[in-house]
Chains A and B, each alone.
Chain A
Amino acid sequence: MSSLQKLLGIGVAVAIAGVLIGFYITGFLMSGPTAFRPPVSGSGASKTVDLTIQTDAAGGPTLTANPSWVSYFVRDENKQWHHSTIWTLPAHTRVNVTIYQFDGDSGLRNPFMAKVRGTLGNTMTVNGKTMNVLNPDDASHTFAVPAMGLIVPLEGVADNAKNQCGFGPCALSTAHQTITFSFVTPGKGRYRWQCFVPCAAGFLDGFGGPMQTLGYMDGFLDVT
């Protein structure tokens, strides 16, 4: 084999290795929780999104890698629950949110977060009752998008409630609160959402684990 052939062989091998490394790095950078696209109904100006989610004290082994962690889930049009907290929403569109809240109350660290803001009418309904504020001690979690000025406190299930859910995704036959509200998405962009209650049971002061890991108590609204 001549020197030229050797050199050519080495060059080709290096190029192939470079391409493979490039694919690996790109794949690594692009990987992460997959985005979920909630069902959209209507079209044009009357288009709306129905976002149905639930919060559980423990995500359970079926859908989460950390079964004991508190977690959000999102539901598709076939009423199947998914473990995703990155949701793709169309811009300038009304989003009707239904949250089934299965966790017990732990109270808000900052009572100010008990005031509903940023929803249509700055109100929510809890089990059908319209409210604009919650007793801070009754809150279990919050659904908040700070960049949109949106915050909704989520009432917890009473400690003595019967038939409480053990692991998520929880069935609607178990004890829960139903919270509904609507908001209008802003222009295109990525907006993070989060829970403001340090609710990571088992972690120092409730700040670790699911509070610091994307896919549990926080995520993104990808407005497109």
Chain B
Amino acid sequence: MRRLGHGGRIAVIWLLSTTVGMVLVAIFLAPILPPGNGSKQASGQQFDNEVLLLVSVAITAMIVVYFGYTLIVFRERDTKATVDGPSIRGNAGIQTTWVVGTTIVVLFLAAFGTYELLGGAGGGQGANPVFVPSASAAVLQPNHKPLQVQVIGQQWQFTFRYPSEGGFESASFVLPVNQEVELHVTSLDVIHSFWVPALGLKADANPGVDNVAYITPKKVGPVQIHCAELCGLFHGYMFDTGHVVSQSAFKAWAASQRQFVSPITKDLPKYDTHYLPDPPFRAG
């Protein structure tokens, strides 16, 4: 049997170490990668992170194996030798392998990332979202409608409007589990960013802009809300706790909120995806 050359040996060691590394990462690290499984979109992001991590394992293993092999096999055994080795120029095999290999990795990551983004990743997509999950779902379920929630940023608190529940506004962020939610994120003053890490949701809140994001919560429980855009003196205090609850609990909460804030609901502007105060500025 023909003995393997240096390239073949490096390839075999790399393949083995990559396989072991990927198995270890898949078993121990992948399940605890952020953002978790709080929503369909968060699960998608976690899958993306797993794929990126596995690709990184393969690349890291290649670097470590190549360096390790080189340092051990090609080391200068004569400790008294002080001369450099001969310079190597124009190795077509190595150059081709390097160019082809890195091109494949980069193109794969670009294609994978683009595909994942087009599938709806929990981020704000602007006023005309490319990915509209309800459009595909409506083909199967004619009555399918996502729950619409407007997120309104203001120095230094987010408030939430529920147009399909009577149009009331609330300081509490409450969502029903396993329900597709269509968020319309905007701001009344400066630029904010509505970030709910556990749901894999992040959307900029710009004044006069309707930034649409989709989310489908999968787990009942509290979720932390943060503003992710430096927005003034109390930006650091612009956080809150939202809740994902059962469908029935959501209905009950919506009913109680609707009643509690009914004295002010009539004074709110008619619901619109573009929420701007009138007059635009009160003071200053």
Contacts and interface: CB of A to CB of B under 8 A. Distances in A.
A214 B234 CA distance: 10
B94 interface: no
Given A109-B188, A192-B237, A207-B155, A198 B267 contact: no
Interface string A170-206: 0000000000000000000000101011111111111
B240 A110 contact: no
B190 A207 contact: yes
Given A135-B267, A207-B155, A214-B233, A117 B283 contact: no
B159 A112 contact: yes
**Which of A146, A206, A208, A214 lies at the interface centre, i.e. has the most chain B CB atoms within 10 A of its CB?**
A146
Contact of B171 (A135, A149, A208, A218): A149
Given A110-B277, A111-B269, A146-B171, A198 B264 contact: no
Contacts of A202: 284
Given A110-B152, A149-B171, A200 B267 contact: no
Interface of B: 152, 154-157, 159, 169, 171, 188-190, 232-234, 237, 240, 260-261, 263-264, 267-269, 277, 279, 281-284
A115 interface: yes
Contacts of B156: 146, 192, 194
- Chain A interface residue bracket vs B: 35 or more
Nearest to A149: B171
Nearest to B161: A112
Contacts, number: 98
18 contacts: A107-B279, A108-B282, A109-B188, A109-B189, A110-B188, A111-B267, A117-B171, A136-B264, A146-B156, A146-B237, A149-B171, A197-B282, A198-B189, A199-B284, A203-B284, A206-B282, A206-B284, A218-B233
B229 to A, nearest CB: 14
A201 B36 CA distance: 46
B284 A146 contact: no
A109 B157 CA distance: 13
Given A111-B268, A112-B169, A207-B155, A198 B233 contact: no
Contacts of A205: 189, 281, 284
A99 interface: no
Contacts of A208: 284
B233 A112 contact: no
A213 interface: yes
By DSSP majority rule, is chain B's interface helix, strand, loop, or mixed? loop
Contacts of A207: 155, 189-190, 232, 284
A82 to B, nearest CB: 21
A133 interface: yes
4 closest A-B pairs by CB: A206-B284, A206-B283, A115-B264, A133-B263
A106 B233 contact: no
B73 to A, nearest CB: 52
Contacts of B281: 198, 205-206
A89 interface: no
Contacts of A111: 264, 267-269
Interface string A94-125: 00000000000011111110110100001000
A197 B263 contact: no
A212 B284 CA distance: 13
B257 to A, nearest CB: 11
Nearest to A132: B263
